[in-house]
Amino acid sequence: MYKFLKKTDHGGFKALGGILLCVTGSEAMFADLGHFSQLSIKIAFTAMVYPALVLAYMGQAAYLSQHHEIDSDYSVGFYVSVPESLRWHVLVIAVLAAVVGSQAIITGTFSIIKQCSSLGFFPPVKTVHTSSKVHGQIYIPEINWLLMVLCLAITVGFRDTRHISNASGLAVITVMLVTTCLMSLVIVLCWHQSVILALCFVVFFGTIETLYFSASLIKFLEGAWVPIAIAFVFVIVMFVWHYGTLKKYEFDVQNKVSVDWLLSLGSSLGIVRVRGIGLIHTELVSGIPAIFSHFVTNLPAFHQILVFLCVKSVPVPHVKNEERFLIGHIGSEEYRIYRCIVRYGYRDAHKDDMEFENDLIFSLAEYIRSRKVPNGVDKHSAAGKMVVVGSPSTILDGIRVSEDDGEIIELVDISEVREIRSPRDATPRKRVRFHIPESPRIDNNALEELQELMEAREGGIAYILGHSYVKAKQGSNFFKRVVINFGYDLLRRNSRPPFHALSVPHASTLQVGMVSYV
């Protein structure tokens, strides 16, 4: 044993890095949790994987005990211990096992990137959900191509399995060491156990893993530097994106404007309300974004009906049609300003612009008809309340919306339905009418609001999209200027825009740019 240790560069300590490779690959099973249940993985590992590993290692140990001469070259290994008649069969099985293991690692990478993007630590990426039942089964094209490029670059760059093994070993032991540290937090915060138990857990397992980690670091220049370099790049990207996103969010929150302040500018700026409906896309679920005040102060006119539209993706496969829209007033009712939150599941198909507009108009009309202010509650205080409104297919006794370019459509039963028509029926254009049930009755204010909504719909819908360019304000230090002006700006220009889920017609789009000095 002593003679064997002397033949290695750093003795048995460096040999620990090779021993570590015996357990690499087992961590890929945990990434398969996105595809399989815990019970199936336990049964497969106990009944098949573990016995196969024991038999394989026993066979290699028996071979090495008889053929332990290692002075020649690196030929002594797994395939040399396999009988020559079975070598090609074992090679095929090894390739298939590598495919399965790589698929597990790819799935785990997709899950981590998706969680980081949801938490605001990674730029938005396209996420394709391949299952309507299991949330973890996702596919991210950009990350998949990036992994392919990295694999090809490492394979072509090293051209040596020993260097690749060293890189894999350091990555695996680092994951184990980080998992042990995080597990101690789970013991204290989630399981509510004593701190002493968590410390004992860290000391016992952490000592063993630190030993293997130190052994892998010795091979830093022999390929182990690759995972550290890749992790360093990803840490920089995540830090820059999170820092820029946080500063931008703080700017949006601090510069939100109120409706009263906005309308008070009418006398000084000459703000007028033009015919039509304006859909202002925003990521804020409360308040008016600063980019809209920037738009109004430079162009003092906006539509007679304003809708602040917020599209949100929720972590469920499908959102029921009766729970799709969440609508409420902003300010007083006479302002005709609404907030609409549209919720989509990760398997919901986003509708085209015409169908989406019709559903939105119907939901606004149904909200106006069915809203009820509780007795004793001031209307101004109840204006910010959001109400869930269903789609046309879910409300059988509500308002019906009809559009045509020609003659008036005759109603089948006038005793049950009343019709609001536009007073400007002389000009040949699109006509919009609301068919309102007789029961329950609505007040005159709601009828007037519906009339104005109908006229605005005939005037057309304009989509107002904001582009906020983040810059470091004057007097910022060098670090902040580099991160915001170069790093975050580069990531923002090359990432997916926040309104990609909204089907926006180009002919009705108005993009407003604004520089946010953070």
Burial class (CB in 10 A: 0-12, 13-18, 19+), 14: middle
pLDDT digit string, tens, across residues 168-200: 888 888 888 998 999 999 999 989 999 999 999
DSSP 288: B
The whole-number pLDDT of residue 180 equals 92
**Which residue's entry shows tokens 């309507």?**
132
User: Is residue 165 predicted with pLDDT exceeding 70?
Assistant: yes
Confidence of residue 37 (pLDDT cuts 50, 70, 90): confident
The whole-number pLDDT of residue 398 equals 55
- 400-404 sheet: strands from edge to edge: 400-404, 431-437, 417-420
For residues 359-376, give the mean pLDDT.
73
Question: Which residue type does 7 have?
Answer: K
For residue 115, count other CB atoms closer than 10 A to its CB: 11
How far, in Å, CA of 218 to CA of 276, rounded?
69
More confident of the two residues 242 and 105: 242
The whole-number pLDDT of residue 315 equals 74
More confident of the two residues 426 and 343: 343
pLDDT digit string, tens, across residues 383-431: 557 788 766 655 555 555 566 554 433 333 333 334 445 454 444 455 6
User: Is residue 10 predicted with pLDDT exceeding 70?
Assistant: no
For residue 26, the SS3 value is coil
For residue 167, count other CB atoms closer than 10 A to its CB: 24
Confidence of residue 271 (pLDDT cuts 50, 70, 90): confident
CA triple 97-98-104, angle to 5 deg: 95
Element (H, E) at 4: helix 2-6
Structure token pair of residue 426: 């002389």
Least confident range from 103-107, 129-133, 200-204, 350-354: namely 350-354
The whole-number pLDDT of residue 295 equals 80
User: Is residue 239 predicted with pLDDT exceeding 60?
Assistant: yes
Confidence of residue 47 (pLDDT cuts 50, 70, 90): very high
Confidence of residue 145 (pLDDT cuts 50, 70, 90): very high
User: Is residue 36 predicted with pLDDT exceeding 90?
Assistant: no
Rg from Cα positions in the chain: 32
Non-local (6+) Cβ contacts of 323 within 8 A are: 343, 388, 390
Question: Which residue type does 489 have?
Answer: D
How far, in Å, CA of 316 to CA of 325, rounded?
16
For residue 233, count other CB atoms closer than 10 A to its CB: 10
User: Is residue 381 predicted with pLDDT exceeding 80?
Assistant: no
Non-local (6+) Cβ contacts of 69 within 8 A are: 76
For residue 312, the SS3 value is strand
How far, in Å, CA of 38 to CA of 15, rounded?
34
For residues 77-103, give the mean pLDDT.
81
pLDDT digit string, tens, across residues 459-515: 888 888 877 788 998 888 989 999 999 999 898 888 876 555 556 667 777 778 788
How far, in Å, CA of 386 to CA of 325, rounded?
10
Burial class (CB in 10 A: 0-12, 13-18, 19+), 370: middle
pLDDT digit string, tens, across residues 278-305: 888 887 777 788 788 778 777 777 888 8
Contact 369, 450 (CB under 8 A): yes
What mean pLDDT, rounded, does the chain reach? 77
Q: Give 19-27's long-range contacts (Cβ < 8 A, gap of 24+).
A: 19/212, 20/169, 20/172, 20/173, 20/212, 20/215, 20/216, 21/165, 21/168, 21/169, 22/57, 23/172, 24/168, 24/169, 24/172, 25/101, 27/172, 27/175, 27/176
How far, in Å, CA of 340 to CA of 94, rounded?
54
For residues 49-75, give the mean pLDDT.
75
User: Is residue 248 predicted with pLDDT exceeding 80?
Assistant: yes
For residues 235-263, give the mean pLDDT.
83
Range among 27-31, 101-105, 472-476, 500-504 rated most confident: 472-476
Write the DSSP assignment of 169-181 as a string of letters: HHHHHHHHHHHHH
CA distances from 74 to 153, 162, 168 (A): 24, 9, 19
Rounded to 5 degrees, φ, ψ at 510 are -125, 115
Contact 339, 308 (CB under 8 A): yes
Confidence of residue 4 (pLDDT cuts 50, 70, 90): very low
More confident of the two residues 9 and 387: 387
The whole-number pLDDT of residue 438 equals 58
Partners of residue 141 on adjacent β-strands: none
For residues 8-29, give the mean pLDDT.
63
Least confident range from 122-131, 346-355, 357-366: namely 346-355
How far, in Å, CA of 140 to CA of 109, rounded?
9
User: Is residue 51 predicted with pLDDT exceeding 70?
Assistant: yes
How far, in Å, CA of 99 to CA of 109, rounded?
15
How far, in Å, CA of 178 to CA of 401, rounded?
58
User: Is residue 204 predicted with pLDDT exceeding 80?
Assistant: yes
Rounded to 5 degrees, φ, ψ at 308 are -85, 110
The whole-number pLDDT of residue 214 equals 86
Range among 152-156, 262-266, 366-370 rated most confident: 152-156
CA distances from 26 to 21, 71, 148, 216 (A): 10, 31, 22, 18
